[in-house]
Chains A and B, each alone.
Chain A
Amino acid sequence: GIQVEQSPPDLILQEGANSTLRCNFSDSVNNLQWFHQNPWGQLINLFYIPSGTKQNGRLSATTVATERYSLLYISSSQTTDSGVYFCAGRGEYGNKLVFGAGTILRVKS
């Protein structure tokens, strides 16, 4: 099956700073998604982004499918952005989403 690698594994930001999270895939994927798990454990879908760029407020994501990676940008970070960010994708011939290990983000005020 495909392997999903996320970087960095953890990140500490001062409120207001920007950050870029990366997700690399070992093989071609479709159905690429980004999730945020808040400190209370709730998993929220941020983006469904198999290719191209999408923006939602201070967050945006870009997937370059031909190069097997995706980036999540967080601008003007806030303490409420803290938590774990996961990316996940489905292999070209797979049936299920495979999740990365996540990036732990802590935003300090």
Chain B
Amino acid sequence: DAGVIQSPRHEVTEMGQEVTLRCKPISGHNSLFWYRQTMMRGLELLIYFNNNVPIDDSGMPEDRFSAKMPNASFSTLKIQPSEPRDSAVYFCASTSRTGGTDTQYFGPGTRLTVL
């Protein structure tokens, strides 16, 4: 398996622009997570989905952030409008919650810089 795939790997944009991050989870995994990592706040969970349904979005910082999972093999995280404080590395992770284990597998991350 190719693992969790994220795109783009790097994104540089200007304040006010819309940013869309993409994630393809590991085939067969039924849970998907979006995390943000910064020096100040560490790793924070933004939102997660079970079977394509958003379960907990309490970590989404504000209305400028939205996430969708239209099918089991694709998810997006959108920031509109972007601000410099959104600069961070955004990770997507997936897991299979069947079988009693819940090991999370992370993608390579998208490094976002908002100027």
Contact = CB atoms under 8 A, between A and B. Distances in A.
Interface of A: 31, 33, 35, 41-45, 48, 86, 90, 95-97, 99, 101-102
B55 A43 contact: no
B56 to A, nearest CB: 5
17 contacts: A33-B102, A33-B103, A41-B111, A42-B106, A42-B108, A43-B91, A43-B106, A45-B104, A45-B106, A48-B101, A86-B43, A95-B48, A95-B56, A96-B33, A96-B48, A97-B33, A97-B104
A45 B55 contact: no
Given A33-B104, A90-B102, A95 B55 contact: yes
Contacts of A44: 106
B109 interface: yes
Given A41-B89, A41-B109, A43-B91, A99 B101 contact: no
Q: For the side of the interface on B, what is the size category?
A: 10 to 19
**Majority secondary structure, B binding face:** strand
**Majority secondary structure, A binding face:** strand
Interface of B: 33, 42-43, 45, 48, 55-56, 89, 91, 93, 101-106, 108-109, 111
A6 to B, nearest CB: 10
A62 B65 CA distance: 38
Contacts of B42: 99, 101-102
A75 to B, nearest CB: 23
A45 B103 contact: yes
B107 to A, nearest CB: 9
